[in-house]
């Protein structure tokens, strides 16, 4: 078992029971949880839902806190590579499908710019953290509620999805974990996710489905020096300090292959 739910008091709270039902994970008294039980536990407190590690040297709790992204939101958002890569600018807000939403940072930034974002996250624990973060942010005020009203969360595997709107202009993919993320918070988030979700080898399938669905482009986030995600060469790339956004414009002509 990878994750259990902490029961804080003698009797489980309504929130703990609800989480148990939703995630189908067992409850354990907090003082009984250690690494012999599971590498992670979820804990509900008055600040929402957090994931904790049972490792002896734990990097601390992980929760989705969109307020901590204030600096990025207020720092010339439209000039950031993420926004440039999806083709968002004043007067143009594409409809986006984020196929690998994770803890929702990228989806949230896109929603802040006014893009409508359908965000898929397959892992139920990661999804629960994301959903909790959105719910808490929404409660901060009318402005915050309006921002997250652009976000449509789906606890689904993108590869198994059966119905997707045919109005999606951009499919955004970020399935990989950077080996050395720069900021400490990103480091913790990615380290937890990497251990929880693990690696899979579905890049080719993700890319194929993304190109089938997107009307305008597929954008792939990669670590700065990683190879391209597919056999096709991106039309253009936006390179930043630690990551790169490869943009595949789909004018429905064949994508140029790396060896061409
Ligand atoms: C590197 S993280 C994404 C980080 C995200 N861009 C952010 O800003 O927080 C990758 C996530 O994609 C999810 N994922 C991978 N394959 C998926 C699929 N086929 N469908 C939905 N989610 C998937 C994983 O569970 C993981 O949480």
Three state DSSP letters for 66-83: HHHHHHHHHCCHHHCHHH
Query: H-helix or E-strand containing 56?
Result: none
Q: What pLDDT, on the 0 to 100 scale, is given for residue 166?
A: 86
Is any ligand 1 atom within 6 A of the Cβ of residue 117? no
Share of residues in the chain with pLDDT > 70 (%): 93
Phi first, then psi, for residue 244 (nearest 5°) are -135, 145
Rounded-to-integer distance, Cα 176 and Cα 198, Å: 10
Cα three-residue angle 242-83-232, rounded to 5 degrees: 70
Pocket test for ligand 1, best of 66, 122, 154, 186 (most atoms within 8 A of CB): 122
Q: What pLDDT, on the 0 to 100 scale, is given for residue 260?
A: 47
Domain boundaries, the chain: 3-53, 66-249
Alpha carbon of 99 to ligand 1 centroid (Å):
7
Are residues 192 and 51 in contact, defined by beta-carbon separation less than 8 angstroms? yes
Rounded-to-integer distance, Cα 96 and Cα 132, Å: 21
For atom 23 of ligand 1, which residue has the closest CA?
Answer: 100
Full strand arrangement of the beta sheet holding 3-7: 27-29, 3-7, 40-45, 48-53
Mean per-residue pLDDT over the chain, rounded: 91
Are residues 112 and 144 in contact, defined by beta-carbon separation less than 8 angstroms? no
Q: What is the pLDDT of residues 210-228, one digit of tens each?
A: 999 999 999 999 998 899 9
Atom of ligand 1 minimally distant from the CA of 103? 9
> Please, what's the largest Cα pairwise distance for the chain?
66
Least confident residue range of 85-99, 137-151, 162-176: 162-176
Share of residues in the chain with pLDDT > 90 (%): 74
Query: In terms of residues, how long is the chain?
Result: 260
Query: H-helix or E-strand containing 210?
Result: helix 203-213
Look at residues 190, 135, 130, 189 and name the one whose alpha carbon lies nearest to residue 154.
130
Is any ligand 1 atom within 6 A of the Cβ of residue 210? no
Alpha carbon of 11 to ligand 1 centroid (Å):
34
Q: What value does the mean pLDDT take over residues 87-103?
A: 95
Query: H-helix or E-strand containing 233?
Result: none
- Homologous superfamily of 66-249: Vaccinia Virus protein VP39 (3.40.50.150)
Are residues 134 and 104 in contact, defined by beta-carbon separation less than 8 angstroms? yes
Look at residues 172, 76, 158 and name the one whose alpha carbon lies nearest to residue 116.
172
Look at residues 38, 67, 31 and name the one whose alpha carbon lies nearest to residue 55.
38
Is any ligand 1 atom within 6 A of the Cβ of residue 178? no
Q: Is the pLDDT of residue 187 over 80?
A: no
Sign of CA dihedral 202, 204, 208, 211: positive
């Amino acid at each position: 078992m990878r994750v259990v739910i902490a029961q804080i008091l003698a009797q489980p709270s309504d929130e703990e029971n609800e989480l148990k039902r939703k995630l189908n994970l067992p409850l354990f008294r907090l003082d009984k949880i250690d690494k012999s039980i599971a590498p992670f536990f979820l804990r509900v407190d008055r600040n929402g839902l957090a994931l904790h590690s049972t490792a002896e040297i734990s990097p601390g709790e992980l929760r989705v806190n969109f307020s901590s992204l204030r600096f990025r939101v207020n720092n010339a958002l439209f000039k950031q590579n993420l926004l440039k890569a999806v083709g968002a600018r004043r007067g143009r807000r594409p409809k986006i499908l984020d196929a690998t939403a994770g803890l929702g940072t990228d989806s949230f930034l896109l929603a802040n710019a006014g893009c409508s974002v359908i965000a898929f996250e397959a892992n139920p624990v990661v999804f629960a953290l994301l959903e909790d973060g959105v719910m808490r942010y929404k409660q901060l005020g009318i402005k915050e509620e309006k921002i997250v009203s652009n976000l449509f969360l789906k606890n689904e595997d993108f590869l198994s999805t059966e119905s997707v709107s045919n109005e999606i202009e951009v499919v955004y993919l970020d399935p990989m974990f950077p080996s050395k993320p720069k900021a400490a918070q990103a480091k913790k988030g990615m380290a937890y996710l990497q251990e929880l979700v693990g690696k899979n080898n579905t890049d080719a399938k993700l890319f194929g489905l993304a190109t089938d669905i997107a009307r305008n482009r597929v954008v792939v986030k990669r670590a700065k020096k990683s190879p391209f995600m597919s056999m096709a060469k991106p039309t253009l790339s936006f390179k930043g300090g630690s990551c790169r956004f490869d943009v595949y414009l789909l004018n429905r002509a064949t994508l140029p292959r790396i060896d061409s």
